[in-house]
Amino acid sequence: MINGLDFLWNKIKLGDEKAFNSLITELFPCLCNFAQRILNNLSESEETVEDVFIHLWQNKERINLKGSIKSYLYQSVHNLAINKLEHFKTLKFQPNITTSQEEWKQIHHTFITDDAFIQMFEANETENIILRAMEELPEKCREIFHLSRFENLSNKEISDQLNLSQNTVRVQIFRAITFLKDFLNNTSRKKTHSL
Amino acid sequence: MQEDFIIPEEISQLIVDFLNGSLQEEEIKKLSRWIAESKEHEKQFNAFKAIWLMSGKSIETSAENSEIALGKINQKLGNNNIRQLQPFWRFWRIAASWLIFFVIGGVASGLFMNQPAQVKINPEILTKITAPLGSISVVDLPDGTKVWLNAGSKITYNDSYGKLKREVQLTGEAYFDVITNKHMPFIVETSDIMVKALGTKFNVKAYPDEKTITATLEEGKIEVLSLLTPDSKEPIILKPSEMVTYYKQDKMSMISDKKTTKEKPVKETDKDDKLEMIPNIKTELVTSWKDETWIIESEPLGKLAPVLERRFNMEITFESDEIMNYKFNGRIQNETIEQILTAIELSAPIQYRFEKNRIILSANKMRKERYDQFTN
């Protein structure tokens, strides 16, 4: 299936600068949004996406896509963001990753951003569904998940703040994610994709 | 798909630690081995990761940012003749937006980090003044208006201040003593509300990590307007000793504060504007932070703690929630944090200890029993 973006990609491969600019204009916002959710820092995210586009242009002759251009770009942004995360000073609670660095990278890179994921990620309703699901979480569970995901607190910091054991914090976060996952699957079952 | 696939508890904890960045080094191998064990494990793990990514805070990148990025990308690719495609003026516009901000008297970074969408293209000179944590700053603005900045707060204004208009942006808390100028109102802009004055003395408190913004009038007259309020609506006009509280309500906090927002004393009819007027305020309780004698009156410890944190640049942690409700009165002059904590310890069944750079407050059970006997 060839869509508009893949058509642009074919022109880019031939050195069409206008097509390249159109691709950037089209995809820059959603790729930034994606990078932001990994890096939690807007300017770092924008820089990451810029670097991905620069790499794309410089290697346009060599790149042979298996899937769509969009999923290639998402995967590139994902991988580059992960590499940055590694050096990120603000990631205060990622302990000195030295010996296990390879494994750590490996775990991160197992993730594949295929078209199904992108479609779900970009759908406006996904965000609404997640917000709705969060409202249904038990209060403590929601509070803990909120602190973890949105306030960027580590398990330790949450357990200190709420006076709970770290294990309770972990169990509650896991419960929240499982609940969101099931909720999203049930809501979108009729639509094609499930996780 | 195996719906009923059960992840062992140990692994589920590793996944959580991984997702929020708390995974310990020795555990990385364990998780990686589990993922590699089977396709199903990998799939499960990826599903959790997907949910984690999807539930993150979404950020709107503006069209303007896309255009700036487009320029930067093409600039970096300068070796290619792609540059010829760029109209000349666009380069200047982009260059201008990056170069022409002078930042005076403060930390240079961070100002636009949070809100790059608001970077304006037209060149202007911004002045930014920050009071570091642990101290209060007094600032004279170009027109003679005096500003007391509480610890950790900042104000910014541009070079047209005092010439065309008098506008400042505030994050944190400040007390303003405004020079009268009937032709040019003095405007304080915060994240959610705007305060307009001609010549008065008032206090505005707008810390990003607090759920409310307040404006309190000591002398004269001010107008308070929520930035979300439609133009047609009249601003709230404050008389001396009145205070306005604005309840912030972003998408996320609405969810986590569902309970508290229901209980807040705003009438149902006022639902749209979240401004609440409170008359007969003892203004010295609100404004005394700037003076030598800082007065507190029946202030719950839970509210006092963040103020102390900023004033002394220390972190305060509660070991139990109940002690947050003890209320305190007092006058603080040049006391050290230790002296204040000792006073708290003496007047309530609370004990404190230092751990690294942190203060830990906990309940003193033995003394609590005696305390309860007295108070009942």
Are B150 and B166 found together in one domain? yes
Would you say residue B150 lies in a domain?
Answer: yes
Q: Is B319 on the interface with A (CB under 8 A)?
A: yes
What does the pLDDT read at residue B374?
63
Contact A42 B116 (CB under 8 A): yes
What does the pLDDT read at residue B112?
32
Are B301 and B210 found together in one domain? no
- pLDDT higher at B176 or B212: B176
What is the span of the domain harbouring residue B314? Answer: 292-375
Q: Is B78 on the interface with A (CB under 8 A)?
A: no
Angstrom CA distances, A42 to B94, B98, B100, B168, stand at 18, 16, 21, 25
Q: Is B302 on the interface with A (CB under 8 A)?
A: no
**Confidence check: pLDDT of A52 > 90:** yes
Q: Which residues of B touch A12 (CB under 8 A)?
A: none
What does the pLDDT read at residue A171?
92
What are the pLDDT digits (tens) for B346-375? 878 888 888 877 899 988 877 777 767 666
Q: Determine what percent of chain B is predicted with pLDDT higher than 90.
A: 10
Indicate the SS3 state at residue A99.
Answer: coil
Of B52, B68, B96, the position where a domain reaches its end is B96
Contact A135 B72 (CB under 8 A): no
The number of folded domains in chain B is 3
A93, A170, A193, A194: which to substitute to probe chain B, counting the most B Cβ within 10 Å?
A170
Lowest mean pLDDT among A103-117, A163-177, B107-121, B179-193: B107-121
E-strand ranges in B5-136 read 103-104, 126-130
What does the pLDDT read at residue A144?
92
What does the pLDDT read at residue B176?
95
Q: Which residues of B touch A152 (CB under 8 A)?
A: 20
Contact A107 B32 (CB under 8 A): yes
> Which of B12, B114, B251 comes nearest A174 by C-beta?
B12
Q: How confident is the model at residue B36 (pLDDT cuts 50, 70, 90)?
A: confident
Nearest partner of B21 among A155, A36, A158, judged by Cα: A155
What does the pLDDT read at residue B325?
85
Contact A139 B259 (CB under 8 A): yes
- What is the identity of the amino acid at B142? P
Of B290, B318, B340, the position where a domain reaches its end is B290
Contact B255 A142 (CB under 8 A): yes
**Confidence check: pLDDT of B302 > 70:** yes
Would you say residue B108 lies in a domain?
Answer: no
Cα(B249)–Cα(B146) distance, integer angstroms: 31
Contact A43 B46 (CB under 8 A): no
Are B119 and B90 found together in one domain? no
B18, B64, B68, B73: which to substitute to probe chain A, counting the most A Cβ within 10 Å?
B73
Q: Is the pTM higher than 0.90?
A: no
Would you say residue B222 lies in a domain?
Answer: yes
Are B119 and B254 found together in one domain? yes
Q: Which residues of B touch A167 (CB under 8 A)?
A: 13
Q: How confident is the model at residue A43 (pLDDT cuts 50, 70, 90)?
A: confident
Would you say residue B109 lies in a domain?
Answer: no
CATH for B369? 3.55.50.30
Q: What is the mean pLDDT of chain A?
A: 80
Which residues 230-269 in chain B show a CB within 8 A of chain A? 251-252, 255-256, 258-259
Contact B28 A36 (CB under 8 A): no
Contact A33 B59 (CB under 8 A): yes
Are B81 and B137 found together in one domain? no
**Confidence check: pLDDT of B230 > 80:** no
What are the pLDDT digits (tens) for B71-122? 888 877 763 433 333 333 344 444 433 333 333 223 333 333 333 323 333 3
Would you say residue B367 lies in a domain?
Answer: yes
Specify whether the CB–CB gap between B18 and B31 falls below 8 A.
yes
- pLDDT higher at A110 or A22: A22
B199-235: string of b/e by CB count within 10 Å (b at 16+)? Answer: bbbbbbbbbeeebbbbbbbbebebbbbbeebeeeeeb
> Which of B21, B48, B63 comes nearest A154 by C-beta?
B21
Return the half-sphere exposure (C-beta side, CA atoms, 13 A cut-off) of residue B196.
14
**Confidence check: pLDDT of B59 > 90:** no
What does the pLDDT read at residue B186?
93
Contact A34 B74 (CB under 8 A): no
Nearest CA in chain A to B41: A110
Nearest partner of B277 among B217, B358, B355, judged by Cα: B217
Beta strands B103-104; B126-130: pairing state: parallel
Are B159 and B206 found together in one domain? yes
Contact B69 A156 (CB under 8 A): no
Specify whether the CB–CB gap between B326 and B348 falls below 8 A.
yes
The residue count for chain B? 376
Q: What mean pLDDT comes out for the span B329-343?
A: 82
> Which of A111, A126, A180 comes nearest B49 by C-beta?
A111
Torsion of CA B339, B345, B351, B355, to 10 degrees: -10
Nearest CA in chain B to A22: B70
Are B249 and B167 found together in one domain? yes
Would you say residue B101 lies in a domain?
Answer: no
Contact B255 A135 (CB under 8 A): yes
Q: Which residues of B touch A34 (CB under 8 A)?
A: 53
Specify whether the CB–CB gap between B139 and B127 falls below 8 A.
no
Would you say residue B124 lies in a domain?
Answer: yes
Contact B57 A150 (CB under 8 A): yes
Are B213 and B317 found together in one domain? no
Q: How confident is the model at residue B188 (pLDDT cuts 50, 70, 90)?
A: very high
Q: What mean pLDDT comes out for the span B128-153?
A: 84
Q: How confident is the model at residue B259 (pLDDT cuts 50, 70, 90)?
A: very low
Are B325 and B349 found together in one domain? yes
**Confidence check: pLDDT of B174 > 90:** yes
What does the pLDDT read at residue B252?
38
Lowest mean pLDDT among A155-159, B30-34, B68-72: B68-72
Contact B13 A150 (CB under 8 A): no
* Distance to chain B for A7, nearest Cα, Å: 20
Nearest CA in chain A to B209: A151
Are B286 and B312 found together in one domain? no
A14, A16, A17, A34: which to substitute to probe chain B, counting the most B Cβ within 10 Å?
A17
ipTM, 2 dp: 0.83
The torsion angles phi and psi of A18, rounded to 5 degrees, stand at -65, -45
What does the pLDDT read at residue B126?
73
Contact B24 A95 (CB under 8 A): yes
- pLDDT higher at A54 or A115: A54
Count residue pairs from A and B with Cβ separation < 8 A. Answer: 186
Are B160 and B204 found together in one domain? yes
Of B290, B311, B336, the position where a domain reaches its end is B290
What are the pLDDT digits (tens) for A80-98? 887 777 665 334 444 444 4
Are B246 and B323 found together in one domain? no
Q: What mean pLDDT comes out for the span B312-338?
A: 84
CATH for B180? 2.60.120.1440
Q: Determine what percent of chain B is predicted with pLDDT higher than 70.
A: 74
> Which of A24, A103, A184 comes nearest B28 by C-beta?
A103
Rg of chain A over Cα atoms, rounded to whole angstroms, equals 19
Q: Is B182 on the interface with A (CB under 8 A)?
A: no
Contact A163 B50 (CB under 8 A): no
Q: Where are the alpha helices (DSSP H) in A14-68?
A: 17-39, 42-58
Would you say residue B102 lies in a domain?
Answer: no
> Which of B18, B70, B82 comes nearest A107 by C-beta?
B18
